[in-house]
Amino acid sequence: MSEPKGALFTSGSAVIASEQHIAQVGGHHRRVSGLDMEIYAVHRAVQISACRPELICAKTVVDLAGGDKNDQLQPYGCAISAKFVVEALGRYFGREV
């Protein structure tokens, strides 16, 4: 298991399984460390919402999107994401947690 680190990622509405397409995305988004599809829907919902709420998303990657997925790290990933969000909201509202 490795220590978590903050990283930027981009998102899209479809799963990309082609190495060629992944390389193209990497060429357009050189500073990102990953590609995510699940958070796209959250961002899109905020974008089209009438009230335009503020948004923060956090996700911990627990696999490398290969065929050998392992669910054992998912609880750890959830806990790390939740801890980050609690700390980020505390800073946003001026209260350290």
pLDDT above 90: percentage of residues in the chain: 8
Query: Largest alpha-carbon pair distance within the chain?
Result: 45
What pTM does this model have?
0.60
- 54-68 pLDDT tens trace: 888 888 877 766 666
Rounded distance between C-alpha atoms, residue 79 and residue 8, angstroms = 19
C-alpha to C-alpha distances, 53 to 39, 45, 56, 92, 97, nearest whole angstrom: 15, 10, 10, 15, 23
Asked if 36 and 9 touch (Cβ cutoff 8 Å), the reply is yes
